[in-house]
Structure 1
Amino acid sequence: MNKTKIMADLPNMRLLFDEPLSNYTFTKTGGPADVLAFPKNTNEVKELVDYCNQEAIPFMVLGNASNLIVREKGIAGVVMMLEDMAEMVIEGTDLVVEAGAKLVETAKFAFEHTLTGLEFACGIPGSIGGAIYMNAGAYGGEVANVVKSVDVVWENGTFETLDNDTLKFSYRHSKLQEKSGVVISVRFALAKGEKEVIGARMAELTELRESKQPLEYPSCGSVFKRPEGHYTGQLIQEAGLQGLIWGGAQISTKHAGFIVNIDNATATDYVELIQHIQKTILKEFNVVLETEVRIIGRKEA
C-alpha cells in the first residue's frame, strides 16, 4: 500500500499508518491497522469508501472497540474510527446522534433533556454505530426498542435511510451484520419523562453494573451470547472454569461471563481462552456458546 499516494489523494483526512489497535481496544490488545482513518463528516466517509473501492483497498469500521478482539497480525487495509462524528441534536422527542458518539454519553444527553428510553444504555461502553450493528442492550432494554431510523453509507458508496423494520433487529443482531455499511447517524424515538425518575433508574443500573462487572480490569465486555435456557456465567462456574488464567487473560472471578486482561494479555490469549471455554461447555453440558464479542483481523499463517 502506497502511503504517500493515500496521503496525497486524501489530503484533508486524518490518517495514521501501522497504528497499534491496542491503543484503542478495551482489552488493550491487538495488532496494527495498515491505515487508521478518522473521517469528520458524511462527505469524508463517502469519499473514503469511494476511494477504497476505486483502489481495491479493503475497509471496515472499528466503532468504539469495546466489544471486539483484534488479532495480533492486525487489520489489512483501511480501518475507520468515527470518534470525530459525535454530534447530538434534539428534535421534539427525537434524538438524532452521529455514529461516533458514545452510547453512555448519549444516554446522559437524553437524561439532561428529560427524555426517557435510553436509561438501559447508561453503562454500555460502545459507540452508537456499534450499538446499531449488534443491537446492543442491557437490563431488559435494547436499541431496537428506541431506534426510528438509521442513515448508512453502504460499501458500494450509496446512501440510504433505513427504518426500524428494515434493520431486521434481533438478539445482538441487525441487518448491518448481513450487508456491509457504515452507520452515519441514528434517530432515536424517545419520550418526555421525569428527570428524577430517569436519573434514579440510571443510578440503579450503574450501581448494578459496578457491583457485578469487573470494571477494574481491561475487558471486551460480555464475551458470549446468552444460550437459550441457560446463563453463560453459571455454565462457566459449574464447569469449574471461573478464575482460570490463560497467559495474561483470566475468566473474571467477579463475573464468569467476562474475560479480563490481568497481566499484559495478548489477543491470542483471549482467542485461545474463548475456544477452551466453548469446547469445555460443549463437552460438559452439550451447549454451544456463540461469541458476542467480534474477533477480527488477519489470522495467523
Structure 2
Amino acid sequence: MLNERKIKMAIDLRNKFKEIKILKDEPLSNYSWTKTGGKADYLAFPKNYQEAETLLKFANENQIPMTVLGNASNLIVRDGGISGLTMILTDMNDIHVDGNHVIAEAGAAYIEATKVAQKAGLTGMEFAAGIPGSIGGGVYMNAGAYGGETEYILESATVLTNTGNIVEMGHDDLDFGYRHSSIQDSGGVVLAATFKLEKGNKVLIQAEMDHLNYLRKSKQPLEYPSCGSVFKRPVGHFAGKLIHDAGLQGYRSGGAEVSTKHAGFIVNVDHATATDYLNVIKHVQETVFKDSGIHLQTEVRIIGKA
C-alpha cells in the first residue's frame, strides 16, 4: 500500500472509529497459534455486530483490503504480513444458553462453548472439547474431530455479507462439506452461531469431554505452538500416516518441524517463521506425492504477503 494512502487511512480510522481498538503495524505473531506471521497494517478489535459492519463498509467504500481473523489457530500468516485493515473477532465472545440451544459469538473459543453446554446439561458438542479455534472459524471450515462435525449441530449462523449486510443463514444455506462451508465461497464473515443440542447427563457429558481431551493430549504435540492439523484427510487415507510412511517425521526447515509425536502436525520448535512452515509444507507435499502418488491438500488457511 502506498505511504500516502496509509497516512490517509490512519487519519480516517482515528477520526471515525474512536470507540474501536485499532493497532497500527501490529505483529500477527502475537495472535497466531504458530507464533509466526508478519505485521497487519491495521488490526481492529470490534466488540459487536455494528462495529464489524461499520469497519467492513468503511473498507469497501475506500477500496481497502479487508481480512478477518478468529482465534488464528488453524492459520498461517506469511512473513510479509497483511495489507489494509484486519479485523480480529476475539472481543466478540459472548456465549449463552436458550433452552436446548447454545448461541455463541464468532470470537468465542469453541472449547469454551463446550464448557457452557456441559454446565447446561446439553449434549452433542463434546467432540469440540479440544478444538482450539473460534466459533466463527469452526463454522467457516466446518471444524470437526473424533467423528463429530460442526454441521451436525449447527442450526443457523449470523453472517456479515461481503457487501456489508447482516443476514441469518440456516444450516442448509451453508452448504457444508468436509472442512468447507459456503462462507468460504461468498467472502462473508460469521458473526455468531446457534447450535441445537439435546438434553443430557452433565456427568456423562464431562466424562466424554475428558476422554476426548485425554486422547488429544496423548496423541498430539500440544507442548509446542502449531496450527493444528495441516492437511485435509485424503479420501481413503490418513494424512498423518502418509507423512509417517514417507519418513518425514522430524523433518525440519528452520524452526518448523514435522512433529515426531503426530505426523499431521507441524510444530514451532525453535523460533520458526511462517516461511519455515511453508517450506516444510511444500517438502511434505512433494515427498508424499513421490512416495504414494497422493497430493496432500492444506487444511490450514494460508494468507498474507510473501
TM-score bin (small chain):
over 0.9
Q: 2:127 aligns with which of 120, 124, 138?
A: 120
Q: Distance in 2 between matches of 1:272 and 1:246?
A: 7
Q: CA deviation at 1:234?
A: 1.0
4+ residue runs over 2 A deviation: none
Partner of 1:155: 162
Partner of 1:268: 275
The one-letter amino acid of 1:105's match is: E
Partner of 1:36: 43
CA displacement, residues 6-42 of structure 1 (integer Å, 9 cap, x when unaligned) = 1112121110010000000000000000110000111
1:89 aligns with 2:96: yes
Q: Distance in 1 between matches of 2:33 and 2:244?
A: 24
1:214 aligns with 2:201: no
Partner of 1:8: 15
Q: Distance in 1 between matches of 2:160 and 2:40?
A: 21
Partner of 2:193: 186
Q: Is the CA contact (8 Å cut-off) linking 2:25 and 2:40 kept in structure 1?
A: yes
Q: CA deviation at 1:91?
A: 1.2
Q: CA deviation at 1:111?
A: 0.4
The one-letter amino acid of 2:26's match is: E
Partner of 2:254: 247
SS at match of 1:177: helix
Q: Structure 1 regions of 5+ residues with no counterpart?
A: none
CA displacement, residues 106-165 of structure 1 (integer Å, 9 cap, x when unaligned) = 001100111001100000000000001100000000110000000111111112110001
SS at match of 1:229: coil
CA displacement, residues 31-83 of structure 1 (integer Å, 9 cap, x when unaligned) = 00011000011111111111111111111111100001000000011111111
SS at match of 2:186: coil
Q: CA deviation at 1:5?
A: 2.3
Q: Distance in 1 between matches of 2:30 and 2:72?
A: 10
Partner of 1:109: 116
1:232 aligns with 2:239: yes
1:177 aligns with 2:177: no
1:78 aligns with 2:104: no
* TM-score normalised by L of structure 1: 0.98
The one-letter amino acid of 1:266's match is: T
Q: CA deviation at 1:89?
A: 1.8
SS at match of 1:151: strand
Q: Distance in 2 between matches of 1:223 and 1:60?
A: 21
Identity %: 54
The count of aligned residue pairs is 299
The one-letter amino acid of 2:265's match is: F
The one-letter amino acid of 1:133's match is: Y
Compute the RMSD of aligned alpha carbons: 0.7
Q: CA deviation at 1:229?
A: 1.0
The one-letter amino acid of 2:49's match is: T
Q: CA deviation at 1:4?
A: 2.3
SS at match of 1:178: helix
Question: Which sits farther off after the overlay, 62-71 or 229-238?
Answer: 229-238
Q: Is the CA contact (8 Å cut-off) linking 2:96 and 2:116 kept in structure 1?
A: no
Q: Is the CA contact (8 Å cut-off) linking 2:41 and 2:83 kept in structure 1?
A: yes
Q: 2:143 aligns with which of 136, 141, 145?
A: 136
SS at match of 2:296: coil
SS at match of 1:295: strand
